[in-house]
Copies of this chain bind each other. A is one copy, B any other.
Amino acid sequence: MQRAAALLRRGCGPRTPGPWGRNQSSAAAEASAVLNVRPERSRRERILTLESMNPQVKAVEYAVRGPIVLKAGEIELELQRVSVRRASGSGAVGSPACALFPQVMALCTYPNLLDSPSFPEDAKKRARRILQACGGNSLGSYSASQGVNCIREDVAAYITRRDGGVPADPDNIYLTTGASDGISTILKILVSGGGKSRTGVLIPIPQYPLYSAVISELDAIQVNYYLDEENCWALNVNELRRAVKEAKDHCDPKVLCIINPGNPTGQVQSRKCIEDVIHFAWEEKLFLLADEVYQDNVYSPDCRFHSFKKVLYEMGPEYSSNVELASFHSTSKGYMGECGYRGGYMEVINLHPEIKGQLVKLLSVRLCPPVSGQAAMDIVVNPPVPGEESFEQFSREKESVLGNLAKKAKLTEDLFNQVPGIHCNPLQGAMYAFPRIFLPAKAVEAAQAHQMAPDMFYCMKLLEETGICVVPGSGFGQREGTYHFRMTILPPVEKLKTVLQKVKDFHINFLEKYA
Contact = CB atoms under 8 A, between A and B. Distances in A.
A340 B140 CA distance: 4
Contact of A360 (B43, B70, B112): B70
A109 to B, nearest CB: 5
Interface residues of A, number: 145
Contact of A169 (B32, B112, B136, B184): B32
A340 B106 CA distance: 15
Contacts of A188: 54, 57, 217
Interface stretch (A268-276, A365-373, A437-445): A365-373
Interface string A1-33: 101100110111101111110001101100110
Contacts of A52: 192, 254
A111 to B, nearest CB: 5
A217 B367 CA distance: 16
A66 to B, nearest CB: 9
Contact of A135 (B31, B78, B214, B287): B78
Nearest to A179: B367
A156 B10 CA distance: 13
Contacts of A321: 3-4, 7, 38, 42-43
Nearest to A47: B287
A47 to B, nearest CB: 5
Nearest to A25: B153
Nearest to A69: B364
Contact of A77 (B184, B320, B342, B367): B367
Contacts of A168: 11
B141 A81 contact: yes
Interface stretch (A142-150, A415-423, A465-473): A142-150
A130 to B, nearest CB: 12
Contacts of A455: none
A316 B170 contact: no
A288 B135 CA distance: 35
Contact of A171 (B28, B141, B143, B351): B28
A39 interface: yes
A370 B342 contact: yes
A164 interface: yes
Contacts of A358: 50, 53, 57-58, 61
A164 B18 contact: yes
A161 B3 CA distance: 22
A210 interface: yes
Nearest to A364: B70
A350 B28 CA distance: 14
B94 A49 contact: no
Contacts of A209: 365
A15 B153 CA distance: 12
Given A38-B321, A105-B110, 20 more contacts: A7-B320, A10-B167, A11-B168, A17-B161, A17-B164, A18-B165, A24-B153, A24-B157, A25-B170, A28-B153, A36-B353, A47-B287, A48-B352, A53-B190, A54-B218, A94-B136, A101-B140, A106-B109, A139-B341, A178-B366
